[in-house]
Structure 1
């Protein structure tokens, strides 16, 4: 694994996700970040200089190989003990979030009930969200106040997701016995 500045790495993740203005762009970007992090781990474990390993493993990992998809790669890493059950489940839920966003289209919002329901099941995110986050006292407020509160809620969700994703990706970049 190439050496990198941990701070720069974290900043790159935060910048990439912060720039996403919609849930669609955000979850697509997070999926890409997970794919990149898993790819680095896979390459550290499987793509060695040994000709036999390269000859046997490269076809499995290429775009048309059986290990080309993120879901299969995460299952492999989990099965090898390189990914904890907790982090495997987090990534699996983020993959599901991306699928929901893609099926709903680009107009889906961070406050969509289907997204919020799944986001609340990711303990890495739920632990960061305030305990009174679901309280909805907006019905009696003015239209502008409602919009402001909803935007604040979107930003809190987005920030919690960014922190959780950063921690998960950091975990993927830890040294392993096989790398």
Structure 2
């Protein structure tokens, strides 16, 4: 079971007995270890998931979920893997109400340990904040809306976005084609930039900058 699923079970009040929790956490750590050993496969899955997000909302949801996986890959590197340590030390730390139960706290941990740099940390925080903001905003934004382009333009990982074309043309069909093309280019830039960020974080090693 993925770490996020385990944490959601705990946070929702569904108590887990010690043995199933230990087994679930052990499986999660094994799954994360397998992903770490296949970086190209993980990067391909990130690209596929992000590319499937047709709306801004679904795109950000997928981005933060994948970012959480990458962060979890780093977090588990610092822990002992034997059953005793997992049961009595690791599991209580990652428990829903434990000190590392929140993604934002795990992000601070890997940054404080020097596992990611400041730019990567700030990008992760901004993406998480943007997703949280959209959770409370029912408006469906386009990738080219200022409310989206503004925050994305602040991300260190994003390559320079293409300049906005002049849409003040009289031909409505041509204008619609330009707008559609611009949206596709912006979306592709975001997908590739975040794929690079998430994959890079997932491939880092503990205590190596």
Say yes or no: TM over 0.5: yes
5+ residue gaps in structure 1?
A: none
User: CA 1:70/1:146 → structure 2, altered by over 3 Å: closer, same or farther?
Assistant: farther
Residue 28 (structure 1) shift: 0.4
5+ residue gaps in structure 2?
A: 1-32
**Would you say the 8 A contact 1:47–1:58 is kept in 2?**
no
Q: What's the secondary structure of 1:140's corresponding residue?
A: coil
Cross-structure match for 2:161: 129
TM-score (norm 1): 0.85
- State the superposition RMSD in angstroms: 2.2
Residue 162 (structure 1) shift: 1.7
1:78 is aligned, of 94, 102, 111, to: 111
| Superposition map of 1:91-170 within 5 A | 91-105=124-138, 107-125=140-158, 127-130=159-162, 133-134=163-164, 136-170=165-199
Bigger Cα Rg:
2
Q: What's the secondary structure of 2:59's corresponding residue?
A: helix
Residue 23 (structure 1) shift: 0.3
Cross-structure match for 2:206: 176
Cα deviation 1:84-128 (Å, max 9, x = unaligned): 111101111111221232222262221221211111111321x24
Residue 156 (structure 1) shift: 1.8
Q: What's the secondary structure of 2:144's corresponding residue?
A: coil
Q: 1-side partners of 2:37 and 2:119: how far apart?
A: 25
| Matching of residue 87 in structure 1 with residue 117 in structure 2 | no
Q: 1-side partners of 2:86 and 2:52: how far apart?
A: 39
Cα deviation 1:63-98 (Å, max 9, x = unaligned): 332322221111111111111111101111111221
| Matching of residue 30 in structure 1 with residue 63 in structure 2 | yes
- In the alignment of these two chains, the number of paired residues is 174
